[in-house]
Amino acid sequence: MAEIQNPDSQLTAVKWRFPSVHPEGRKFTLIAAVATLIVYTGFGWHFVGWLLVGLTIWVAAFFRDPIRTTPDDPSLIVAPADGLITMITKVGGPPELGSDGMSGSFTRVSIFMSVFDVHINRSPIAGRIRRVAYVPGKFLNADLDKASEDNERQHFLVQREDGVAIGFTQIAGLVARRIMAFVKEGDTVAAGERIGLIRFGSRVDVYLPDGTAPQVLLGQRTIAGETVLATLGQARVLTGSSQ
């Protein structure tokens, strides 16, 4: 993991680079590319071939894995997913994560990922993975509130050294057919570290503890590992407008 220098201590510059394709997506990109080659050259179906070229590019873009720069501040909770803030509501903790780490009330921030968003999910805080709980379920529209209880999902609970724990959940959507975890219980993760992937289109919920208000607004877009969702213990509620 690259360390970002303080600009006061050293002049630095960052250059844009083309995002890599995550290893999980390379086989799908290869399959699409081979199918395109067969259709275009083997059958001479040029129109269909060009459509498949577009599909191949989209598959590669779907599994893109850009580098993200995460603020080095243990009090910050960063977004675990790219997407749109579609719901902010008060709820109880997911029962699958247990009462010891997720008791009481929480503010649930829901991030909806369209098929055009980056689908690599990241840890909102640094700590140890205390629990990973997979729950089979339906494939309803992930934008619906009941998707958090009815859809296929995977819960994570990350606990800091001081005992503070943050729960978050990967939720499958209409076209999502596989939820993947890159970590297991007992692993130690950094804030912004890659923890999983969902294919294709879905949602991630983050459970903010009581007394911590979200620092994002409905309709705002988030960047996984970079956008600050909240600061632990900060209860000031933001207001804003769409324009």
Active site (catalytic) residues: 202
Return the amino acid letter for 128.
Answer: R
Cα Rg for the chain, rounded, in angstroms? 19
Q: What is the DSSP string of 128-161?
A: EEEEEEEE--B---TTSTTHHHHB-EEEEEEE-T
Instruction: Report the number of secondary-structure helices (H) and strands (E) in the chain.
Output: 3, 15
Provide CB contacts within 8 A for 148, sequence distance 6+: 108, 110, 169, 171, 205
Q: How far apart are CA 80 and CA 103, in angstroms?
A: 21
